[in-house]
Amino acid sequence: VESSIPEHMREAWRKYSPSGFTTKDQFETEIVRHIETTLARSLFNCDELAAYSGTALAFRDRLIMDWNKTQQRQTFADQKRIYYLSLEFLMGRALDNAMLNVGLKNVAKEGLADLGFRIEDVINQEHDAALGNGGLGRLAACFLDSMASLNYPAWGYGLRYRYGIFKQEIENGYQVEIPDYWLDFNPWEFARHDVTVDVQFYGWVNKYTDDEGKQIVSWQDGEIVTAVAYDVPVPGYGTPTVNNLRLWSSKASSGEFDFSKFNSGEYESAVADQQRAETISAVLYPNDNLERGKELRLKQQYFWCAASLFDIVRRFKKTNRKWSEFPDQVAIQLNDTHPTLAVVELQRILVDKEGLEWQTAWDIVTKTFSYTNHTVLPEALEKWSVPLIQNLLPRHLQIIYEINLSFLQTVERRFPKDRELLGRVSLIEESQPKTVRMAYLAIVGSHKVNGVAELHSDLIKTTIFKDFVRIYGPDKFINVTNGITPRRWLHQANPRLSELIASKLGSYEFLKDLTLLNKLEPFVDDKEFKKEWAEIKYANKVRLAQHILKTTGVSVNPKALFDVQVKRIHEYKRQQLNVFGVIHRYLAIKSLSSEERKKLAPRVTIFGGKAAPGYWMAKTIIHLINKVGEVINNDPDVGDLLKVIFLEDYNVSKAEIIIPASDISEHISTAGTEASGTSNMKFVLNGGLIIGTLDGANIEITREIGEQNVFLFGNLSEDVEDLRHNHFYGDYQVDPELQKVFDLIKSGKFGDEGSFGALIGAITEHGDYYLVSDDFNSYTKTQDLIDETFKNQDEWVTKCITSVARMGFFTSDRCINEYADTIWNIEPLDVAEEKQVRART
Ligand code: GPV
């Protein structure tokens, strides 16, 4: 449908199009107007939530004008676009980010003060957008920020879950999950009721030859569910670019919806149909690094892939190009295997709908897609049951079999007589029932496959994807080490540190080119600078101490060493190693005289993170941490020497408070299990040091900042297999110090519910898969070294400043530029003309 305003009327349109506020007075006009009209509130009825709502609406208006211009500019430029498909976007709050990115935070601060509000309180009213579990979802959010800040024509595609990740409460030391109903008031989304896609499920496949002798395949009947687009503006930092994140919401199809049911008195069953359709986008699956093969999850995946592909193809068709040019206009990145059905869907569109030859279509598909792997853990690799796909997506199953057949034929030609190879790389696993190996399908359907840190990218080439390296050659498999956005994780989370750095470097340019941080290194000997640096860390710790007091009732000393481990609770991330280490420390304190205790370095150990609701072992770890905290925090022999805190409901906005307040953070996964980790980067960028294993991005962080600035411990990835083997076949003995910890737990000191027995049994009886005992001695010794080092504050601050100065590599801007150059073959858009000078705050 053509719906442009005719040329001769555009003059009037342009004259009246809003220009957006830039001054304090204009901002106040906007906020008051929104509060009185949009929200129907008044002077006598305006609380902090209303002030937040008005401020958000004022900034939303501003963003959407830039959003409109960006979309026009990108359409006009007619360049290749990148589409980032992710089932998770862990965006956190939007207001502070929007204010900083458009450079109007100071204007808002003063405007709000005039109206009687403190900007921090207003910002804190916002509910996190928590459409993700952990690292994978937050990485997608950092990538959106970088793509916009670098002016790439980029879209994110995801699902608009009605419920994001659950809210965690701790009751009697146990995790309790509360639904996260977050859409009550969300000013950051635009419902596009006119942008819809009908998505088909179930039904059957009809194959026949038409009058001209052509093979026709048609997928018939079944159910239709409608996808409705909700658009979220993604502003870049210091640029006019505002990209789009399009989230799909499911509803009953108006075409399909059986209105006659209402008339025939089946009102309830009609409503039930409607609810069933809405269920598809209702809830984010709360698992991290685990796939459980549920039908509704498969429905989510196809619903989102089909809607996104339809949208992308629709946009391409408007350019009237030949199909062969599709990969010159479109790059699609698969964030893990969750969107792999998009590969099959594009092949289906090209062959069944557009009538292309199979091989012609397949060449287009593989040039379009690329795939990022985020784990080597076997339990996280997706495998969908063939009968499930057969029932839900009968045509797609046929296409998968055809892709497999032609793939296996090529393999057979290149490696004749290697029958076992064919079985190993087949997209179909001959299990009971048969399953589709989604990672293999993603590899076969992509032109590039990447891991997320050097060690991880090497590991996938030598372990899980070894055979595919033989088949395709090594160039298809590359590394792109993860990164984080310094806008949110330094400038927004730690404004004082950002300001101090800017005062030394002369500008905030480092936020756009993080390698400029290296200009800080000459200042490591500047006494005044070091003092200010230490004061900022202390102030951040005071702020966290206040949060701890308010939420847990425990008072901690901000002068103590703050030791932080915040991330999803998982056996491979080894929070159990940390808490066993805490108990070991407690035993040491108890064994000393009060004179000897005075020489000890006081420490606050802080945990945070959610356990998947069905992950019993992870929940047991949370329980143990809380019980250990109860005992230690109330033991008068211990006092300030040790406090153990579990912070409830770790999420993005809490991370923004916790990370800047850390002295030491823990990244202690069993070597070879953590693909990258990204919080390790956030902590170091905020002037905290890390204790870690030689795993994931810890290795590259060490290479960049220097071994003397990292506390490394534990066994190496290359030795893990042998160690595991020895646990069963060697003469295995638990570390004697760890045994003492187990004895204390078993004595009932922390409660004798018996459940802690399983945690110990996993190590003493069931092979200690995660090498807790093997690494225990090295871990506690390294913790002692940390205590010693922290006593010399001057040396400590030197390490922190040096580390920050060398962190430039870990910006997600570098990471996105690498994807753009080596995978997507896409250029940023030139926005020089649009670029306005914006006041920085
Ligand atoms: I697969 N990751 C995650 O958060 N959830 C998942 O389901 C899977 C991976 C994480 C990895 O565990 C991290 O090591 C990595 O830094 C992150 O993805 C981003 O790549």
Mean pLDDT value of segment 453-457: 98
pLDDT at position 681 is: 99
Q: Given the CA of residue 373, which atom of ligand 1 is nearest to it?
A: 1
CB 654 within 8 A of CB 608: yes
Burial bucket for residue 600 (CB in 10 Å: 0-12, 13-18, 19+): middle
In the chain, domain spans? 78-93+128-384+441-479, 504-810
CB 203 within 8 A of CB 397: no
Work out the mean pLDDT of the chain and round it to a whole number: 96
Fold exhibited by the domain 504-810: Rossmann fold (3.40.50)
pLDDT digits (tens, 9 = 90+) for 514-561: 999 999 999 999 999 999 999 999 999 999 999 999 999 999 999 999
Phi/psi at 200 (5° precision): -100, 145
CB 92 less than 6 A from any atom of ligand 1: no
Handedness of CA 177, 183, 187, 192 (dihedral sign): positive
The Cα 81–Cα 5 span in angstroms is 26
Lowest mean pLDDT among 303-312, 701-710, 723-732: 723-732
The token pair at 561 is 């060493």
Whether 568 is a known active-site residue: answer yes
pLDDT digits (tens, 9 = 90+) for 471-503: 999 999 999 999 999 999 999 999 999 999 999
- Tokens 């330094």 sit on residue: 490
pLDDT at position 836 is: 47
Whether 14 is a known active-site residue: answer no
Instruction: Describe the strand order of the beta sheet including 642-647 as a list of residue ranges.
Output: 642-647, 603-608, 561-566, 664-667, 689-692, 711-712
CB 696 less than 6 A from any atom of ligand 1: yes
Among the listed residues 73, 162, 374, 541, the single catalytic one is 374
Whether 567 is a known active-site residue: answer yes
pLDDT digits (tens, 9 = 90+) for 87-143: 999 999 999 999 999 999 999 999 999 999 999 999 999 999 999 999 999 999 999
- Please report, rounded to a whole number, the percentage of residues in the chain having pLDDT higher than 70: 98
Whether 678 is a known active-site residue: answer yes
Asked whether residue 262 carries a pLDDT value surpassing 50, the answer given is yes
CB 287 less than 6 A from any atom of ligand 1: no
CB 644 less than 6 A from any atom of ligand 1: no
CB 165 less than 6 A from any atom of ligand 1: no
Kindly give the distance from the C-alpha atom of residue 702 to the centroid of ligand 1, in angstroms, as a whole number.
20
Kindly give the distance from the C-alpha atom of residue 87 to the centroid of ligand 1, in angstroms, as a whole number.
13
The Cα 115–Cα 34 span in angstroms is 14
Whether 573 is a known active-site residue: answer yes
Among the listed residues 196, 337, 366, 678, the single catalytic one is 678
Cα-to-chain-centroid distance, residue 516:
26
Pocket test for ligand 1, best of 133, 136, 138, 371 (most atoms within 8 A of CB): 136
3-state SS, one letter per residue, for 696-765: CCHHHHHHHHCHHHCEECCCCHHHHHHHHHHHHHCCCCCCHHHHHHHHHHHCCCCCCCCCHHHHHHHHHC
Kindly give the distance from the C-alpha atom of residue 288 to the centroid of ligand 1, in angstroms, as a whole number.
8
DSSP-derived secondary structure letter, 301:
H
Pocket test for ligand 1, best of 87, 131, 289, 381 (most atoms within 8 A of CB): 289
3-state secondary structure of 246: strand
**Beta-carbon neighbour count of residue 721 at 10 Å?**
11
Strand blocks (E) in 501-592: 561-566
pLDDT digits (tens, 9 = 90+) for 164-178: 999 999 999 999 999
Q: Given the CA of residue 675, which atom of ligand 1 is nearest to it?
A: 14
3-state secondary structure of 87: coil
CB 828 less than 6 A from any atom of ligand 1: no
pLDDT at position 149 is: 98
Nearest residue (by CA) to ligand 1, atom 16, is: 677
pLDDT digits (tens, 9 = 90+) for 722-764: 999 999 998 889 999 999 999 999 999 999 778 899 999 999 9
Asked whether residue 837 carries a pLDDT value surpassing 70, the answer given is no
pLDDT at position 8 is: 87
Task: Please name the residues in contact with 337: beta carbons below 8 A apart, sequence gap of 6 or more.
Answer: 371, 373, 381, 382, 438, 439, 441, 442
CB 88 less than 6 A from any atom of ligand 1: no
The token pair at 73 is 């500019």
Task: Please name the residues in contact with 349: beta carbons below 8 A apart, sequence gap of 6 or more.
Answer: 309, 310, 313
Asked whether residue 257 carries a pLDDT value surpassing 80, the answer given is no
Grade residue 632 by pLDDT with cuts at 50, 70 and 90. Answer: very high
Among the listed residues 568, 570, 574, 619, the single catalytic one is 568
Whether 504 is a known active-site residue: answer no
Handedness of CA 531, 533, 536, 542 (dihedral sign): negative
- Give the C-alpha distances (Å, rounded to integers) separating 28 from 16, 45, 120, 235, 831: 20, 17, 17, 22, 29
The Cα 58–Cα 115 span in angstroms is 15
The token pair at 598 is 């005075």
pLDDT at position 840 is: 39
Fold exhibited by the domain 78-93+128-384+441-479: Rossmann fold (3.40.50)
3-state secondary structure of 123: helix
The Cα 726–Cα 723 span in angstroms is 5
Kindly give the distance from the C-alpha atom of residue 566 to the centroid of ligand 1, in angstroms, as a whole number.
14
Kindly give the distance from the C-alpha atom of residue 607 to the centroid of ligand 1, in angstroms, as a whole number.
19
The token pair at 481 is 């080490």
pLDDT digits (tens, 9 = 90+) for 350-382: 999 999 999 999 999 999 999 999 999 999 999
CB 133 less than 6 A from any atom of ligand 1: yes
